[in-house]
Amino acid sequence: MSTGADLKAREGDIPNDNMTQEQSFKKGFCSLRHGLAFILHLCNFSIYTQQMNLSFAITAMVNTTVASSQLNASTERPPTDSQDVWNETLQESKAPVYDWTPEIQGILLSSLNYGSFLAPIPTGYVAGVFGAKYVVGLGLLISSVLTLFIPLAADAGVALLIVLRVIQGMAQVMVLTGQYSLWAKWAPPQERSQLITIAASGSMLGTFLVLIAGGLICQALGWPYIFYIFGGIGCACCLLWFPLVYDDPQNHPFISTGEKRYITCSLAQEDCSLGWSLPIKAMVKSLPLWAIVVSYFCEYWLLSTVMAYTPTYISSVLQANLRDSGILSALPFMFGCVCIILGGLLADFLLSRKILRLVTIRKLFTAGSSSHLESSCPCLGSDPAAPPQWPSWYYLLSLPASVIQEPSLTSWI
């Protein structure tokens, strides 16, 4: 495994007449490292469509008559005409429906996180030591294949579906965590935020597409096809991942000599040594590390709740047609997809021009994210009589600050 000293030694062997060529690779998006960011964008897109598909499909999978009887009398409202048409359309699709209580629905939606609670720690370490290519690729393949079997697992019983979702959650953590080990070897320090946010923006785009297309798929084909379509897209991404992605630029057969030298020289300027040892004792005693853990715990607690239960909230509480309100529900995530890329560009600009220190940039973005997410909490308990547009536009204002602080993930590499 290469160390910082090895990279610095290689830097000294590079002739000066090649420096002009290396400078050309600092600008523009036509490079292999940006191609890697695009492939990871597709992987994150697939993973988040697979995370969100049950959250949307469960509104069509559940017997609405039984589910509505479980609601509190104070929140019950007569169905609207559009909701009646929606229910009739779902019945005509001849897709199976289940008598799942709200408690069972909550367990099913949260089961994705059961196996992923402690999985990020060993996954990130294993990917850093043995290479992220197969860790990320295997996780994407397992999650995609299991997505295809969700309709069969639902027919077999709730217990099997919960087990499948737990395993799927662990596989998805392999993708979401392991990918950052790639950037430790591929991303020049001045471009790291940009590359990471291009890749991470696929998560918002995936959520946006599920909310936009989910209702149309349920109406035209039936809810099982939500899992078939997005599971198939994930399998297709694996066909791109395994032949085109390599753990480091030194072994990639298609990278140009100039780009390889540029990445090598950029990483040689960092005072870091990548090794096998993991300073667990120092990590436990590190107050900044615990501050990051608490910050991300609070952020993703609310963000996961919003992503998992927004479709159910709109359908059961607001009695809205999910197909018709899908655009408003998806707007925050489309806006977030754009802002997460702009946030990475902004972070790199502030860092490259030395306007702010790196630690200041991270603190500002993280603080802005936390304050905006906390402001969206009242939306979760809004008046059932409020129109469906209100929560959507409120999220539209709160989500961009959440995703714009994503460059702080570079602190781990």
Name, of 77-81, 89-93, 383-387, the range with top average pLDDT.
89-93
| Confidence (pTM) | 0.75
Q: Which residues of 83-115 are buried (b: 16+ CB within 10 A; e: fewer)?
A: beebeebbeebebebbebeeeebebbbbbbbeb
Query: How far is residue 170 from each of residues 133, 259, 299, 303, measured CA to CA in Å?
Result: 17, 35, 20, 19
Who's near 347: CB < 8 A, 6+ residues apart?
193, 194, 197, 361, 365, 407
- Degrees, nearest 5: CA angle 316-321-326: 105
Output 78 or 365, whichever has higher pLDDT. Answer: 365
Q: Which residue has the higher pLDDT, 56 or 236?
A: 236
Distance between CA 370 and CA 300 in Å, rounded? Answer: 10
Q: Considering only 163-167, 184-188, 273-277, 399-403, which range has the smallest mean pLDDT?
A: 399-403
Q: What is the DSSP string of 8-36?
A: HHHHHTS-GGGHHHHHGGGSSS-SHHHHH
36 pLDDT higher than 90: yes
List pLDDT tens digits, range 204-247.
889 888 888 888 888 888 899 999 999 999 999 999 999 999 99
Predicted confidence (pLDDT) per residue in 282-334, tens digit: 888 999 889 888 888 887 888 788 778 877 777 777 776 666 666 666 777 77
Sequence-distant (≥ 6) Cβ neighbours of residue 1 within 8 angstroms? 274, 275, 276
